[in-house]
Structure 1
Amino acid sequence: MDAARPDHRHEAAAPVTVLPERVALFVTLGRPKFLFQSMLVTGAGVAVAVHTGVRFGAGAYALTLGFAWCTHLMTHYCNEYFDLEADRANRTPTSWTGGSRILVRGLLPPVAGLGAAFVLLFTALVLIAVMPGTADRLVAVAITALAWFYTAPPLRLNYHALGEVTCATVLYALGPVLAHRLQGGGMPPALWACVGVLFALQVLRCLIMNLSDIAGDQEVGKRTGAGALGRRGVAHVYGAGQVGVHLAIAAMTAAHVLPAAVGIALFVLLPVPGWVGRQLYGAAPKDQRRADAVAFWASMHMPLTSCALMAGLTADGLLHHRPASTGWLAVQTVTIAVFTIWLWRTARVPKHDRPHTVPDTAAQDTATP
């Protein structure tokens, strides 16, 4: 990485005392820019339910999204507190990895992260209590527990090479399953196919997100899956994994487990992981600017995949004269539109570094809301 980058263990700064600035820092501490991940994967789970003929329930969707955002933010605040030692040791953070740097720089006290995490934990428990079915509540409890112990003791799953699988299980496996169930859907093959694709791609994405943190993590005894594999190992696993996932998508599409429109939509995104994979074998791990771009596009591949699933399922419904309800079409359209606008404004990688499927833009960085 960039040898000239300052040692972030010495980023101490005077705590901010002006209330509006403290509020802004507190919001940034939670890294809300990642909430698009949980919003869109919730939409993917609902889209599968609607595609199978389930009537869209706006109340159930609101409950699912509220719970997803609550547990997602809880995880971020929890990580900021329990990962503080590792973040301080990290000399090569990117805009998308290594935490918010708010606690590292001393701009807020560490207890701010822990306090917020507990408030969000209790809020999640309240939302679980109002879920209609016992099975639904059990899925939600599993999501909450795994999210909390991702970095919190005694399990600290991301410290024992289990973080990547845990994150994928919580956000991109159990998340869409819960969204589907709360809509009243069963467990059709299409749901398992979509969840399998999302889960596998998220494991690969999490390896990339931990890649820039390896040196700092090793310094404090944190062993992630990326750290266990090493940089070259991550590149090999990511490349082989993407090939395997897309072969599986082709097979499931040919077997009519996935609708053809969904398979096509997923393959349209192939240049994104293809570009990321090429960078992993090139200069990206040693170049800070490219490392930031790799983390960004590896991360954005997941909400783009959720968008592709929703669009493909909607298109398949229209082709077979089973259009989704007006309410769901409106929610889905607004969701995808908001994400698209945000992505357009946030993407700040130079033109020659961008995958071809991503719109060209010269907009300024708005990564920190």
Structure 2
Amino acid sequence: MATTAEWIEGARPRTLPTAISPVLVGTGAAIGAGAVAPRPALLALVVAVAMVVGVNFANDYSDGIRGTDDDRVGPQRLVGSRAADPATVRTAAFACFGIAAVAGIALTAVSGQWWLIAVGALCIVGAWFYTGGARPYGYAGLGEVAVFVFFGPVAVLGTTLTQAGSVDAATVGASVAAGLLTCAVLVANNLRDIPGDRVVGKRTLAVRLGDRGTRGLYVLTALGPFVLALGAAFDRPGLLVTLLALPAALRPVRTVLGGARGPELIPVLRDTGLLLLAWAVAIAIGLAIG
């Protein structure tokens, strides 16, 4: 039976910045539009965190029963390490999705944006079939596309809409940047796992691009949001505050470009998550001050 510490590790807390960051960005944009709505913001955060933990458990379960995690380089997985029964991990995933669904329904009721229920349902389906089902799209190299859409435009714009009722061009741009930087977290993870994924037939985008191409993709997704902020600053000078987060990119980018492999890449996942969080705080402030 898995210990509490193993369950916490299975939830992959290092990925939580991917949940918190889009809510920060969307809330900053709402404040900039004159809306201060703590209750929808809190509900959006519950939805995001529950979804990320849920998809982590779902991936643990689906990869584990396929044997993908039997020889793993990264952090321990519950099913792959035989620390927890697969059915229990699957139940934990569904429980998290249930929490996200309840909070999402409450969020739509508070905001009046009832059409977002359909979006939320699509998010849950996408979370499960990332590595679940007979033909998981994460095994076909489409994981980055899903992460970009769900953690960029969907999460950021959905957060803003439920608080302010509308979005502007700067918020749309910020949602694109958030999607890119969240992709960097996944790219860092998949770069580390290329050798093992190739052996088990998991054709992630990293496997398709190869080592060199994936390192280039990482740099593009990690630094691209700062380039976008520079462009947007001509119209919204306050967005230059995002450059304060740029130093957080130096260590992970240097590690990736330095050719680190295997266990040497494990800290990159943590550092990229911290970069995402720092960037989100900075751009949220920039959007809030208009």
TM beyond 0.5? yes
Q: Which is higher, the Rg of structure 1 or of structure 2? A: 1
Q: After superposition, give the CA deviation of every residue in 1:197-251 in whole Å (9 maximum; x if it has no partner).
A: 1112222332111111111111111111111111111122233455554333222
Q: What is the 5 A alignment of 1:259-270?
A: 259-262=236-239, 264-270=240-246
The answer to whether the 8 Å contact 1:149/1:157 transfers is yes
2:170 maps to 190
Count, aligned residues: 284
CA RMSD of aligned residues (A): 2.2
The alpha carbon displacement at 1:52 in A equals 0.9
Please state whether the residue corresponding to 1:196 is helix, strand or coil: helix
Q: What is the 5 A alignment of 1:1-369?
A: 15=1, 22-54=3-35, 56-84=36-64, 85-90=67-72, 92-93=73-74, 95=75, 100-130=76-106, 131-132=108-109, 133-242=113-222, 244-254=224-234, 256=235, 259-262=236-239, 264-285=240-261, 288=263, 290-314=264-288, 316-317=289-290
Q: After superposition, give the CA deviation of every residue in 1:12-54 in whole Å (9 maximum; x if it has no partner).
A: xxx45xxxxx344333322234324312321211110111112
Aligned residue type for 1:313:
L
Aligned residue type for 1:46:
T
The answer to whether the 8 Å contact 1:41/1:303 transfers is no
> Normalization by structure 2: what TM-score?
0.88
Please state whether the residue corresponding to 2:69 is helix, strand or coil: helix
Q: Distance in 2 between matches of 1:267 and 1:177?
A: 22
For residues 135 and 239 of structure 1, do their structure 2 counterparts lie closer, same or farther at Cα, with a shift above 3 Å needed? same
The alpha carbon displacement at 1:83 in A equals 1.2
Q: Distance in 2 between matches of 1:67 and 1:237?
A: 29
Q: After superposition, give the CA deviation of every residue in 1:130-181 in whole Å (9 maximum; x if it has no partner).
A: 3232222222222222222211114412101011221222223311122111
Q: After superposition, give the CA deviation of every residue in 1:69-117 in whole Å (9 maximum; x if it has no partner).
A: 2211110110110011211133x22x4xxxx333332222122210111
Higher relative contact order (CA 8 A, sep 6+): 2
For residues 57 and 305 of structure 1, do their structure 2 counterparts lie closer, same or farther at Cα, with a shift above 3 Å needed? same
Aligned residue type for 1:37:
T
The answer to whether the 8 Å contact 1:136/1:181 transfers is no
The alpha carbon displacement at 1:66 in A equals 1.6
Please state whether the residue corresponding to 1:187 is helix, strand or coil: coil
Please state whether the residue corresponding to 2:34 is helix, strand or coil: coil
**Which shifted more, 160-169 or 305-314?**
305-314
> Normalization by structure 1: what TM-score?
0.71
Unaligned runs of 5+ in 1: 1-14, 17-21, 318-369
The answer to whether the 8 Å contact 2:11/2:57 transfers is yes
Aligned residue type for 2:51:
T
The alpha carbon displacement at 1:59 in A equals 2.1
Q: Distance in 2 between matches of 1:243 and 1:123?
A: 34
Aligned residue type for 1:308:
A
The answer to whether the 8 Å contact 1:128/1:141 transfers is no
Q: Distance in 2 between matches of 1:275 and 1:42?
A: 25
Greater share of residues in helix: 2
Aligned residue type for 1:300:
L
Q: Distance in 1 between matches of 2:70 and 2:42?
A: 37
For residues 169 and 222 of structure 1, do their structure 2 counterparts lie closer, same or farther at Cα, with a shift above 3 Å needed? same
Aligned residue type for 1:309:
I
The answer to whether the 8 Å contact 2:142/2:205 transfers is yes
For residues 30 and 240 of structure 1, do their structure 2 counterparts lie closer, same or farther at Cα, with a shift above 3 Å needed? closer
